[in-house]
Every structure is written in structure tokens, then in C-alpha cells.
Amino acid sequence: ARILVTGANGYIGCWIVHELLDRGYSVRATVRTDEKACALSSLITAKHPSLSPGAFECDLVPDMSAEGAFEKCLGGVQGIIHTASPVNFEMEDPEDYIVPAVQGTMGIIKAAAKHQTVKRIVITSSVGAVAETLRTPEETHVYNEDDWNDYAVETVTALGKAAIGTDKYSASKVLAERAAWQFYDDNKDGLSFELCTILPGWVFGTVLQPLPDDPPSPKHITSITVKLAWDQLFAMPPPEPFLVDFSYVDVRDVADIHIRALEMEEAAGERFIASPNLCTWQDWYDAAHDMDILPRLSKIHPPATSTEEKLPYPRLEYSSEKAKQRLGMVFRPLEVTLRDTVDDFRKRGWLQ
Ligand code: NDP
């Protein structure tokens, strides 16, 4: 089957493309520029030297907010994984997040509704669409797929440009996902496809995406979450801890759950949170000490000496039980993500 993947050169998109090809799918990847198409094609050819002709191709969609932007991409496509969306916390105008997020999502859904060859659409949402990631609750609370982050939308509506970046980003994820479900619920009977949304927590782990070679360095990584992990684990001098506690998921598990969502009957019409690992940065430092993989850490971040330095209370948790039970997800533990990230960065010459 042929699967359309948007945002294919991004941190998550690239892993999804790689996994799909590994599992025998054909992939049509959308990116914004010729340069990005070339870089992605070279990477895929290097990773998959014996791909059959036509198993991987790139389509250019320079502006996914434009009317009908995805319509030309859907010939022969049976499934869609839509990851493209602005991911940063720095833009001033909330519309710069919301317009591409909502119009990109609706553009692809409406194009699929016209085409009628698509059987499943999987959209990458975020736990930011469930609850505000950076706000520690007054009491420990476990959020699930019934929750929506209305707070972000209300705050951004009230404050506009003055809202914080994470609220603007989360609002764009809420509005895009809600618009998708609204359209799906209103038109379900006439659609060829079923919808599923995946809501990852912070995504960490090894980097696959093409990086410019001048030479490639951590500064070229597009994912703000990988940059964050890089800073928290390896930067000198060490920055202030950015988050007290947070939950994250390995990028390879994110790719896996998107493909399960594409394939499994149980995924149809459902949201799935993928944010299994609740931790603090101290947990990462302690794991690195236990595994003895970053000796220089001991001076910067000594091991925790008391349990108070470990997980704080109250805390904000997202339940990933539904993904485990219905989709059979088995998520990688922190030690595996840490070990493979360190190996990856070391092989690239980014760590001494
Ligand atoms: P990246 O920034 O690495 O990739 C984002 C992708 O989206 C890139 O291909 C980018 O294209 C594309 N994109 C961004 N803005 C636009 C736009 N205005 N028009 C068209 N394409 C655009 O981020 P991730 O891979 O981490 O994120 C992918 C998805 O996962 C997003 O939907 C994000 O919200 C979601 N997500 C990510 C999490 C994380 O921790 N990383 C957590 C939860 C959800 P280009 O390279 O041209 O800019």
C-alpha cells in the first residue's frame, strides 16, 4: 500500500518514513522545498539501498495552508500520516501556529474526502491538546484521552500575542485536532476513511532526519525537544533545568504507534496518548551514572542523594494505558532511550 507522510523531513516524520519502508509500504513524502526533498531522498536511499523503484517518492507542498494544497498528492494513496505542523515556542503571532496547523489538517482531510481511495488518516496531535504540559497541577492528576486543553485556547484567545509560546503551540494542536474530529463526526457516513489521532508527550531519542553537512551538528536538529534533551544532558555550562517533571516517549515508539494506528481496526475513530515515561532530568542523570555512560556528567550533575531530588509531587501525568491495551504498545524505558541517544551522538562525533 502507498502511504502519504507529511512533514517527512522532520524529526518524527523521518522515523515514520523509515519504519514504513522497513515494513514494506511505499511512501510518498511531502516536504516544503526541493532542497529538503533531495536531502531526504539521499538519506532514504542510503538507509534503504535495495528499495524497488517507486517505493519512495517526494512531493513538494510549499504552503500547506493554501486551498487544495494536498490534492495533487493523493493519487493511489491508501493511508495518510499527517505530522506537519509548526513546532516551536518562539513565534509571536498565534495565527502563525494556528493557521498552518488547522488549515494543513483540514486541507488533507478534505482532499482525502474527495479522493475516496484513502482508508485511514492518522494525525499527529500532542499531549499539549490534552493538558498544559508546563503547568504543575495543585494535586497530582492523571489525564487521559477524554481531556482537552481548553485552557490553552481560552488563554490565547484572551492574551493573543502576549500568551506564552507553549500555550500558542498547544492551542494550535487543540484547534487542529478538534477541527479534524468535527469534520469526521459530521461526515462519517460518506467518508472512505477512518480517523485516528496520536498524542505524544515530549519526544526524545536518536536522530534520523537529514542534517546539512557543514558539518552536521546538534544545532541543525530541527526538533526543539531533541535540542532540549541535548542541552539538559550534555551542554556546557549546564542550563537551568527546564522542566521539573515531564513525561516523554522514544521517537521510535512514536513511529511504531503511528503505523499501528494506520493498520489496526482498534484504532479507528480513537485518540491515543503516547507519553509513558514520567521523569525528571535527575532521573536521566542517575540512569547515566548507573550505566556509567557519561563519566563527565558526575561533575556537572551528581547522582541524586535523596529521594526528594527524585520525582516531585504533585505531578502531571498522562495515561498511555489505552495505547498499551488496545494497540499492544510496549514503550521503551528511559535507559534504552538514553543509551541509544548517547551512542548516536557519540557516533556522530558530538560527544567526547
Ligand atoms: P519538526 O520540527 O522536526 O518537524 C516538523 C515538520 O513539520 C517539518 O517537516 C516541517 O517542515 C513541517 N512544518 C512545520 N511548519 C510547517 C508549516 N507551516 N507548513 C508546512 N510544514 C510545516 O518537529 P517534530 O517532528 O518533532 O513534530 C512533528 C509533529 O509531532 C508535529 O505535529 C508536532 O506537533 C508533533 N509533536 C511533537 C512532539 C515533540 O516532542 N517533538 C510532541 C508531541 C507532538 P520544515 O522542515 O520545512 O520546517
Q: What is the ipTM of this complex?
A: 0.99
CB distance 195 to 184 below 8 Å: yes
Look at ligand 1, atom 14, and give the residue with the nearest C-alpha: 86
CA angle 336, 339, 343 (to 5 degrees): 135
pTM: 0.96
Grid cell in block for residue 238: 549546564
- Radius of gyration for the chain, computed over Cα atoms and rounded to the nearest angstrom: 20
C-alpha 249 to ligand 1 mean position (Å): 16
Distance CA 181, CA 248 (A): 25
CB distance 175 to 149 below 8 Å: no
Grid cell in block for residue 121: 488518516
When the pLDDT of each residue in the chain is averaged and rounded to a whole number, the result is: 92
pLDDT of residue 310: 62
**Domains of the chain, start order:** 2-208+249-276+317-334 (3.40.50.720)
Mutate-to-test residue for ligand 1 from 12, 15, 127, 170, highest number of ligand atoms within 8 A of CB: 12
Residue 230 has pLDDT above 70, yes or no: yes
Distance CA 253, CA 198 (A): 11
Residue 185 has pLDDT above 70, yes or no: yes
pLDDT band at residue 311 under the 50/70/90 scheme: low
Look at ligand 1, atom 36, and give the residue with the nearest C-alpha: 126
pLDDT of residue 307: 61
Of all atoms in ligand 1, which is nearest to the CA of residue 84?
A: 7
Which among 15, 22, 176, 201 has a CA at the least distance from the CA of 98?
176
| List of residues 6+ apart from 109 with CB closer than 8 A | 121, 180, 183, 184, 195
Distance CA 216, CA 348 (A): 8
CB distance 84 to 6 below 8 Å: yes
Residue 133 has pLDDT above 80, yes or no: no
- Mean pLDDT, rounded, for 68-78: 96
Query: How buried is 215 (Cβ within 10 angstroms: 0-12 exposed, 13-18 middle, 19+ buried)?
Result: exposed
Distance spanning both ends of the chain, measured CA to CA:
43
Task: Ligand 1: list residues with CB < 6 Å.
Answer: 7, 9-13, 32, 36, 64, 83-87, 100, 124, 126, 173, 200, 202-203, 222-223, 225
Give the residue with greater pLDDT, 63 vs 219: 63
In this predicted model, what pLDDT tens digit does every residue of 252-265 receive, in sequence order? 999 999 999 999 99
C-alpha 6 to ligand 1 mean position (Å): 9
Grid cell in block for residue 150: 481548553
